[in-house]
Amino acid sequence: MDLDKALILGIESSCDDTAASILEINPNGSHIKSSIIRNQFNLHQEYGGVVPEIAARAHVELIDVVVEEALKIANVSIQDVNAIGVTAGPGLIGGVMSGVMFAKGLSASTNKPLIGVNHLAGHALTPRLTDRVNFPYLVLLVSGGHCQFLIVHSHHNYERIGGTIDDAPGEAFDKTARLLGLLQPGGPSIEEAAKTGDEHRFDLPRPLLNREGCDFSFSGLKTALMRKRNDLIEEQGGLFKQDICDLSASFQQAMHDVIVKKSIRAIDLYCEITNENPVFSIAGGVAANKKIRQSLENICKTKKVTFSAPPLALCTDNAAIIAYAAAERFLNDDYDDMTLSARPRWPLDNKKSAILGSGKKGPKA
Amino acid sequence: MKKIVISNGPLETKKLATLFKANLQKGDVVLLKGEIGAGKSHFARSLIQSAMYIKEEVPSPTFTLVQVYDTTIGSIWHADLYRLNDYSDVIELGLIDAFGEEIVLLEWPERLGYLEPKDSLTIEIIILEGDRREIIFSTTSSEWKPRLDKILKDQ
């Protein structure tokens, strides 16, 4: 890059939220000038009427609005932007496609370079955006739809050393909350209910806890919790408030124990592979859970590992992290062309998983 | 037509799913019913993994709604309608375009409403005690009968 600074527009529409951000990169680091996120709730408020949560149409209707707003709040025009980064997968196909089509159109009409970003790379690179962490480092990515340990060797080289073989933790939190009649999203509801609960009352399984390696399984935990709940309902004819709190606390504790123990193992494995202590980072919505976050911080202290936990707003889905991942490629003059296509499935570590028929074009990043 | 199989645990369900896969063909729509934790995803995952060229993960589609896999028996769409409100959302998702064209494994098909294909096969999983499950195959389409008979004979 021959410029003193560059502005990257990031666009994200791979799940329920539609987001846009303007990121400034300069030799001293990165600066988020704006980051706009709209979900269905805002949409209802502003436009009235019912919009299907999942609809690609909702994204189509919102993308230009959020991009305009991101530009306005950053106080720049589209002409000032140096490149357009967009989530090209993985995610909900309709949503990803809306974002990619919009970005292509914008790129063609403004002559700005187009960069397709892997949504997971956005999360995995966040420690570089916030703490300027050097490669390589270790990331635990835990969210509604994902759960994996990654060694980030560079912005286009990710080594997956473990992950879930069934449900993601965020999903397990949501489904558990539903089973207990708590509000969605499940993460915050379970955490709140667990505060006054007894985590020792119910003995829930810690799936794969003692198995070698860094893989997770959460499906059985959810089923075990359901059984305890059903037993209680059968015995008492329903659930008392304390039962819900105790079940929440026991569930959170099981989740916590598994994530913490596997993190210790991942750190050890990282040391074996690279012969050095990692910087350990966490990303994704589950990073919001205070109990889990605190324990991860503690194990890092014990193991003399630097812990980098991005602020919560950057842990959940947003477009600033997409702009940043695009910036890493922009700095290497690595662009996409108009053949960029949406990829609903797009594993970051493509050495481990074969990518079969999930898009004609392989990942450039 | 209705056939009932008892599975004594996840491993037996996995074997059944693998047998079932061998009799699937393009255009089949399989509806997976059962409460949370019954093992719908386990059945779908076992089936898809047994048909993969190279074994890779089959994550739950609850968040992404639809995951598409290219397999030895053709393209399999694994969908989960749990988060949808009703059939209008199904139309938005483009799922009905796959009906009759690809192999579709659908969890929480109750949200389909009138969009439910007439010639689909329903697999309902009922939780018995512990890990045991009652697996009920049912369909109104005569087209499935010889295939189901074969699966249950091999089982």
Residue A348 domain-assigned? no
* Contact list, A91 vs chain B (CB under 8 Å): 64
SS3 B59: coil
Contact A267, A129 (CB under 8 A): no
- Chain A residue with minimal CA distance to B75? A357
pLDDT of residue A359: 34
Q: What is the pLDDT of residues A262-302, one digit of tens each?
A: 999 999 999 998 888 899 999 888 888 999 999 999 999 99
Residue B140 domain-assigned? no
Contact A177, A189 (CB under 8 A): yes
Residue type, A4: D
**Record: contact A219-B41, CB cut-off 8 A:** yes
ipTM: 0.70
Same domain, A186 and A149: yes
Task: Look up the domain containing B13 and give its range.
Answer: 2-134
Q: What is the pLDDT of residues A173-204, one digit of tens each?
A: 988 998 999 987 889 999 999 999 999 999 99
Total domain count for chain A?
2
Same domain, A114 and A152: no
**Record: contact A354-B54, CB cut-off 8 A:** yes
Residues 6+ apart with CB under 8 A from A339: A360, A361
Report the CATH number at residue A76.
3.30.420.40
- Chain A residue with minimal CA distance to B60? A167
Q: Which two tokens stand for residue A217?
A: 């399984």
* Contact list, B42 vs chain A (CB under 8 Å): 166, 219
Q: Is A188 an interface residue toward B (CB < 8 Å)?
A: no
pLDDT of residue A288: 85
**Cross-strand bridge partners of residue B80:** B107
Residue B16 domain-assigned? yes
* Contact list, A357 vs chain B (CB under 8 Å): 68, 70, 75
Same domain, A236 and A258: yes
Residue A351 domain-assigned? no
**Cross-strand bridge partners of residue B71:** B74
Task: Look up the domain containing A210 and give its range.
Answer: 134-312
Same domain, A246 and A234: yes
Total domain count for chain B?
1
Q: Are strands B66-71 and B133-138 parallel, antiparallel or unpaired?
A: unpaired
Q: How far is B65 from chain A (nearest CA, A)?
A: 7
Which residue, among B78, B16, B86, has the nearest Cα to B52 in the 3D structure? B78
Residue A349 domain-assigned? no
Residue A365 pLDDT greater than 50, yes or no: no
Same domain, A288 and A140: yes
Residue B25 domain-assigned? yes
Contact B95, B29 (CB under 8 A): no
Q: Are strands B103-107 and B29-33 parallel, antiparallel or unpaired?
A: parallel
Q: How far is B77 from chain A (nearest CA, A)?
A: 12
- Mean residue pLDDT of chain A comes to 88
How many A×B Cβ pairs under 8 Å? 97
